[in-house]
Amino acid sequence: MGLCHGKPIQDPPVQEEGPEIPSDEGPLTNAATPKAPKLPFLSPSPLPSSYKSSPANSSVSSTPLRLFKRAFPPPSPAKHIKALLARRHGSAKPNEATIPEGNEAELGLDKSFGFSKQFCLKYELGEEVGRGHFGYTCSAGVKKGELKGQEVAVKVIPKAKMTTDIAIEDVRREVRILRSLTGHQNLVQFYDAYEDEDNVYVVMELCRGGELLDRILSRDGKYSEQDAKVVMVQILSAVAFCHLQGVVHRDLKPENFLFASKDENSPLKAIDFGLSDFVKPDERLNDIVGSAYYVAPEVLHRSYGTEADMWSIGVIAYILLCGSRPFWARTESGIFRAVLKAEPNFEEAPWPSLSAEARDFVKMLLNKDYRKRITASQALGHPWLRDSQVIKLPMDIIVYRLTKAYICSSSLRKSALRALAKTLTVDQLYYLHEQFQWLGPNKNGYISLQNFKMALVKNSTDAMKDSRVLDFVNTVSSLQYRKLDFEEFVAAAISVHQLEGLESWEQVARRAYEFFEKDGNRSIVIEELASELGLSPSVPVHVVLQGWIRHSDGKLSLMGFIKLLHGASSRSTPKA
């Protein structure tokens, strides 16, 4: 759904795919692809190498270009995404094959939202300022009330286009999300929602500064590092707030960020929550939505969470810094193949002239393994952003999930994580210290699990009720465990997967193992190790745990130590 766009948007024509497309491009290669790690036992990506239902699989022979040398129009959503959205909103053509998603018959649909019907008494619609797939946005004058005399933006959603239950629920959810999240300085301000027989009217702040995309193009396609930092801090601040509340945007791109005014230092506002959804920290979404150039690999595999937004932010950061898309092809299926298989190019200009911190920042966002991707709060604490301004890091829900896993772990795994915690850098500890302070330690420097709940409740909005984030937090606070000091909190809140994503992971793992050898390693028989990991008696432990224990002294090997950091493999543990 389009929202408060700074100018009317014309969807570029979608190229029809044929069985063959002439192309002078070479095979898909990448000089920037990292070398295979020396450690053969790193955890593999959760994304399968071949996925039959992936939209990247097609007969089109074109291969993706990674760079372009000209100004680019707003990227069009992929055809398969358009088709899914069309079915979702009941606008598929009669002769198109459709997959039923809910009630497809318009007959008997309840299109009453319970919104006020006094729109025309308070507002007078002006010119159209933007148009999306399922609605359009106009400026409007306020005739009465607190905003009398001011101009606002009104998103008009025709009820005639709401021909499925899902389409109606999408509108309800969009209004609930806007109403819950409004007030953050980098989110478009929501005022109210109205309806009449024909339309739903969503009233918001009018942003006159234009799209982020237009600013990029006006600067010859890219920003300086310093200016890019200012933009990224605002984007990350908005997204970190959404993610804490359990809201995933699902369509982050330069067109969906507007400047409040034309002033050079105008604040940036995230808009268009028409595709947004609620997501619990331990749940995954499976519907494919978004825009092709910004879609994360795990979205194409229909299993994703808030990490998908971080990938999109990585694409935006890449474009801001070099003026090129990291993944590009002549067709939508080609784009998907590039997203799934190609690596962004950091070898060509201007990347060699940019700072190492800038390159590292983008790489950490564009990791194809979503488990290794940094969160919005972690990104705000990255040295590239922190060296230019003082940033208060927001709360991060990932800390809750990791702490829960730590508490439920065996004593042996806790020892391994405490050894790993001793290898963290000052920058990594800075982020964890900020998270610890959010939890309100007592004067002796300890926190209880009740602190986790109280801290989140203080920073909650109504969105948390819909996303059931508080339900998840209740499962954490209800666990029985001693109070944690900062040292143990660090061990609890480490993401092993994220550390694995670092180029220095091999050295980090070996150093951690040395600490473990001194303080935590002990002789253990394979049956005891299986019990520590909670493996079922039906699991062939001598096969699954082969190589975990040294033959010389019966202690954990380096391979066993690293596997232990992750806990029992889901592939080796039968599902309940």
Catalytic residues: 251
- Under the phi-then-psi rule, with left for phi > 0, alpha for psi from -120 to 50, and beta for the rest, what region is 26? beta
Give, in order, the Cα–Cα distances in Å from 151 to each of 23, 196, 203: 50, 21, 10
Residues in the chain: 576
Strand partners, 140: 125, 152
What phi, psi does 447 have (nearest 5°)? -125, 150
- Residues 369, 381: Cα–Cα separation, whole Å: 21
Residue that is written with structure tokens 């819909």 in the block: 466
- Residues 85, 78: Cα–Cα separation, whole Å: 11
Retrieve residue 373's tokens: 């991707």
The total of other beta-carbon atoms located within 10 Å of residue 218's CB is 10
- Residues 21, 185: Cα–Cα separation, whole Å: 46
Is residue 338 within 8 A of residue 312, CB to CB? The reply is no
DSSP structure class, residue 293? G
- Under the phi-then-psi rule, with left for phi > 0, alpha for psi from -120 to 50, and beta for the rest, what region is 145? left
- Residues 73, 213: Cα–Cα separation, whole Å: 9
DSSP structure class, residue 164? S
- Residues 250, 248: Cα–Cα separation, whole Å: 6
- Residues 571, 544: Cα–Cα separation, whole Å: 9
Helices (H), 225-289: 225-244
- Residues 155, 202: Cα–Cα separation, whole Å: 5
Tell me which amino acid residue 130 is.
G
Strand partners, 350: none
CA-wise closest residue to 495 among 486, 505, 485, 506: 505
- Residues 492, 407: Cα–Cα separation, whole Å: 8
Give, in order, the Cα–Cα distances in Å from 105 to each of 133, 165, 167, 172: 20, 9, 12, 19
* 155 annotated as belonging to a binding site for a ligand: yes
DSSP structure class, residue 17? P
Computed on alpha carbons and rounded to an integer, the radius of gyration of the chain in Å comes to 25
CA-wise closest residue to 489 among 543, 438, 523, 546: 438
What phi, psi does 465 have (nearest 5°)? -70, -45
Query: What is the secondary structure of 275-320 as a DSSP string?
Result: T-EE--TT--B----S-GGG--HHHHTT-B-THHHHHHHHHHHHHH
Going edge to edge, which strands form the sheet with 151-158? 123-131, 136-142, 151-158, 199-205, 190-195
Is residue 174 within 8 A of residue 147, CB to CB? The reply is no
- Residues 82, 84: Cα–Cα separation, whole Å: 5
| Residues placed in the known binding site | 155
Binding residues for ATP, as ranges, are 155
